[in-house]
Structure formats: C-alpha cells, structure tokens
Chain A
Amino acid sequence: MRKVGSYVTWVVWLTVCLSLLVVPAANAYIDPGSGSLIFQVVVGAAMAASLGVRVFWKRIIGFFRRNH
C-alpha cells in the first residue's frame, strides 16, 4: 500500500515537473521559488473552487439584502 502511495506521489511530482518545462518566457527577475510555484499549481483547483464559493456566497447574501 505504501509503495502504491509513493508511486502516485512520484507520478504527480513528475507531471508537475514536466509542466514546468513547457512554459513561455516572461520578464521575471526575482526567484519565484520552485516550491512556491509548484505549491500554487497543486492548490490551484482549491483556490478556484474557493473563489467560486465566495462569489456564490456573496450572491446569496446580496439576494437576501436586496429582499430586505
């Protein structure tokens, strides 16, 4: 079981690393830190979802405020 877990981790890690290689150039002059970049990619879906929840929540609040 542990072996399977570490295999999955390795595949995820390799996928993220490969994603780093297919990127257009930009004008960055500070070191963004590979750990920081990878971390953002990993939590990206959760961030997008949380934004969705926030927007949804605001709409609900807004709906009730309008009705009062």
Chain B
Amino acid sequence: MPPPPGDGRAAAGGTASGPAARVGGSFRDPAGFVFTRGGVLYRQVNARGAADYDLLHSSGLYDTLVGDGLLVAVEEVDVEPAAADPHRILRPERVPFISYPYEWCPGQLRDAALLTLRVQTLAMDAGMSLRDASAFNVQFLRGRPVLIDTLSFEALVEGRPWVAYRQFCQHFLAPLALASAVDVRLLGLLRTHLDGIPLDLAAALLPARTKLTPGLALHLHSHARSQQRHADAGREAAGRGAADLAGSGRFSTKAFRGLVESLRTAVTKQTWEPSPSAWRDYYAAKQSYTDAALAAKEELVGKLLADLSPRTVWDLGANTGRFSRLAAAAGATVVSLELDPSAVEVSWQQVRERSETSVLPLVADLANPSPALGWACAERDSLTARGPADAVLALALVHHLAIAGNVPLPDVARWFSQLCHALVVEWVPKDDPMVGRLLASREDIFDDYTAAAFEAALCEHFDIERREPVPGSSRVLYLLRRR
C-alpha cells in the first residue's frame, strides 16, 4: 500500500531539519508546543517549562506513568528547534489516529476521566500536579487511554487548590452526568463547547434529583453556583492573583486528595447502559442475512482485505465492529466509526475486555462528520483531514447515505475517494429488505439509485478491481483502488 500522505501520523522516519509546522491546536501553553517536520511529530519544551519538565523526570513520575502506560513515551532528540527559547525537543510516540471527546462513547469518556484522575494521584505522590485536565489531552493508544501532553505537569504548591478543577468538571464530569442522567446525545455538546460544557448549562439541563446525589450536588450544582456568584465579585481578586491561588495551608494536601477521590467516585457513578437498539441487534436479529450469508460475506471481506493488506482501515458504519475486527486480524489499525453510541459502547467494552490493541470505536454521523473546529478552524481536524486511510470498509452503508440522507451517489463516491486509497464497498439494491425499510414511510424519489449509476459514480475516482455478489442476498461487494 502507498504510505498515507498528508499529516504522516504513522511516519517513522523523516528529516530532522527543514520547515516546521506548528500543530493547529498547540498554542495556548507558553511552556511548549507540538510541531511536525518532515512528517515527524515533535514537542518543543520552552525555557519557561524547563523546571517542571525536569522535575517530571527527576521525581520519577515520568518513569512511573510511562511504565504504567498512562503517559505517552517521549524521546529527547537533538534536532533544530522550531522557535526561540528551547529547553528540549522531544519526539513522542505517535498515536495512530487522533480522536476527539465529541467522538467518544460514554465509556471512553469515563475511562479518559479516570485516567486523568489516576495520573493526578500519582503526580501528587511525586510532588507534582496536573496544570490542566483537558479531555483533548487524552488519546487512545493500543486500546487504552493515555495522556499525550508531557507538559501538563507542574510542581505541587502546598496549600493551593487545583487549577484544573473547573476544566475537569467541564470536560469530564458534566458531559458524563448529562449522558447518564439525561440523554447520551448531549455528549454532542462537546462539539460546540470545546472547553467543556459550562457548568451553569450542565446544572440547568440536569434533573433536580441530581441535586440529591452528593458528587453531582457538590462538583456540578454547588460548583456552578459558586462560579456564578463569584463571576463578577471574583474578578477584582482574580486580577490580583487568583490564578496563582495558594495561601498557607488553606487547601491542604489532604483536602486536595479528598477532592480528587471525590471526583473519582462521582465519575464512577455516572454509568450509562447501551440500549438494545435495532442497530446493535442487527446481526443477532439476522434481518438481512442468513447465518450462512453472513459467514460468506465475512469470508469475502476477509479475502478482499488480505488482497489489500492495509496498514490503516476506517470501517464506516461499523456497528459493533464485527468487520473492524476482521480488518484488525488482517494486521490493520482500525478506526471503527458508527452513528449509534450504544453500538460504539458495546464495541469499546469488547476492546477493554479482550485487551484489543488495534480497534478504535468512535461515534460518527457520516452524513455530518466531525468538522474542523476551534481557533482559525485549525485546532481540531475534520474527519476527512485525519485521513486518508489505506483502505475504507463501507459495508451496508451506501443506502443509509443515499436514501436516508438523500446524498446523491456521485457525492458519496467523491467523499469515499477523499478518505482512502482503496475501498471495499457494498452495494445494497432497492429490493433489499433494509432499503425497503428506509423507503417504507416515504416516497421513492431515488430513480438514480441503481447498481449501474453507482458503478459509474465510483469509476469517476476508482478502478474496479473485483466485483463479488454476496451469497444469499442481492447485494454486491466491490474492491476498488483510487486512481
């Protein structure tokens, strides 16, 4: 397979000199920043962040965290800095696919929250503390959440409250509580609120009964009231140093540890059970395939994947990730994208229970994929910008885009061509029961929804390598390579 161009996330080599490009989301912290050069990712530690970075190592915290797989490993390298005042240049281990909190199921957000609190506890044991608690600092590597920001640590200041407390509540506890107590779809608020869900908004959306649960009463409801009460009154004091709040022993280390433990309990209690939705039961109910047909389709997809031997696969409309795991078994690192959070949650539980290392399930509405977001539309990449993948699997998907979403087939084909070098796509004709279901309650305005029109649309961008009927159905599987 050709190496994926673009951001070169998977690149192992590269040149140590040449033009450096600062990563879009890395500009807030004066202690350092992330940049790429020659396809390699680096982190520059500025002189301003030197003391804390050195303490991270000398305290033994770095070794502890990396040893436990909680912090991404870095290598100090001797390459040209990308800006003035460098202290060190680091080369972090590369995360194969950068995902964002608004793409996670509740279980993933919860695991990221618990990771953050575990890191904070270990940091305190080593005389350090997290300077931030952004969910964007957590990524999934080999099936486990990991902190990617080496510069998130500072020396613990005795008596000072946690500077990242507000951020932790906004990024983790508020969305988890909303998903648990109201509706999982409220996790979508993380897409509009990149610094987490404002606590007054969370408090307004949460049902009154959550005022009686100690964790949420304290960390969301009372916390939100305190923010509102001091929004103006605190400004004067804040201007004179609240950001560096300490005070001799006013917030004891015991209180700090109690706060972290209390947050951990509150997070643990925000449970969410995936619903037995139609999507999740898709295979169990065997609505569109007989057992033998499903087995035949698996075998066929397995063969096509073996032909491709892709390093990276995006499985679009992955459901609980049955075919994603087929791709993982063929040696690929797989991003398993699915609309239904229940299916993603089930898939994530499987990743955890079986310690799977190559499948990353994510929530994605493919008719409205993640856009570029944040400052200058450059802080968070769109889904498309995070590709292309070596191969895309689009099984039982096209009818959803074309009929449920009214997307014309040429547009579907064009979008696929932006996402991958090779495509395994399933054609689901109109006489298929699943298409019948989509058309049951609406007028059939899809005169162009034919196999011939689909092939013509694909051929604008791809060469058809194989065309295989799916046994036991009227569906067809295509293997295509982008021209």
Contacts and interface: CB of A to CB of B under 8 A. Distances in A.
B237 interface: yes
Nearest to A36: B166
Interface stretch (B256-264, B285-293, B331-339, B414-422): B256-264
A48 B226 contact: no
A32 B254 CA distance: 20
Interface in B454-476: none
Range for the number of chain B residues in contact with chain A = 35 or more
Interface residues of A, number: 37
Contact of A43 (B131, B218, B240): B218
A37 interface: yes
A11 interface: no
A30 B164 contact: yes
Contacts of B247: 19-20, 22-23, 41
Nearest to B263: A47
B83 interface: no
A22 B261 CA distance: 27
A20 B258 contact: no
A36 B226 contact: yes
Interface string B46-80: 00110010000000000000000000000000000
Contacts of B241: 20-21, 23
B218 A25 contact: no
Nearest to A38: B230
A8 interface: no
A35 interface: yes
Nearest to B167: A30
Contacts of A6: none
Interface string B219-251: 000110011111101111110111111111011
A13 to B, nearest CB: 7
A32 B256 CA distance: 15
Main secondary structure of the interface of A (DSSP, over half): helix
Contacts of A52: 254, 258
Given A37-B161, A38-B234, A48-B252, A32 B245 contact: yes
B226 A38 contact: yes
Interface string B189-221: 000000000000000000000000000001000
B254 A35 contact: no
A37 to B, nearest CB: 5
A58 to B, nearest CB: 11
Interface in A15-48: 17, 19-48
Contacts of B161: 32, 36-37, 40-41, 44
B23 interface: no
B386 interface: no
B245 A39 contact: no
B165 interface: yes
B478 interface: no
A35 B234 contact: yes
A47 B226 CA distance: 16
Contacts of B167: 30, 32
13 contacts: A21-B240, A21-B241, A24-B157, A32-B163, A32-B164, A32-B165, A34-B237, A36-B166, A38-B226, A38-B230, A40-B259, A44-B250, A52-B258
Interface of A: 13, 17, 19-52, 54
Interface of B: 28-31, 48-49, 52, 131-132, 154-155, 157, 160-167, 169, 218, 222-223, 226-231, 233-238, 240-248, 250-252, 254-259, 261-262
